[in-house]
Amino acid sequence: MPAIVGVAQVITLGNSSVFHIGDVYKIMPFSNAKTFSGAGSFNTGERLRVDNNLSSTNTFDPDMMDQNNAFNM
């Protein structure tokens, strides 16, 4: 179904962002990343209390690739 889109103002896009308006056939990423972080790392807010007495992040990854994007060009 065709889309009629008015004015769209994009201020910034990150390196791995996808900007999509209207109909689209295929959206493919060109890069990927893996992030390791400990418990409570991405919490945001005011007056935040996180109690992680004994916390460790397991970064052992025996397989070489989790999700390959070699054919996304």
pTM of the entire structure?
Answer: 0.40
How far is 24 from 20, CA to CA, in rounded Å? Answer: 8
Given a cut of 70, the residues of the chain with pLDDT beneath it are 1-3, 69, 72-73
How far is 55 from 40, CA to CA, in rounded Å? Answer: 10
Instruction: Give 33's contacts (C-beta < 8 A, 6+ positions apart).
Output: 16
Q: What is the per-residue pLDDT across 49-67, written as a single tens digit (0 to 9) for each?
A: 888 888 788 888 787 777 7
Residue 20 to residues 5, 7, 28, 34, Cα–Cα distance (Å): 11, 14, 12, 24
Q: Which ranges constitute the DSSP H helices of the chain? A: none
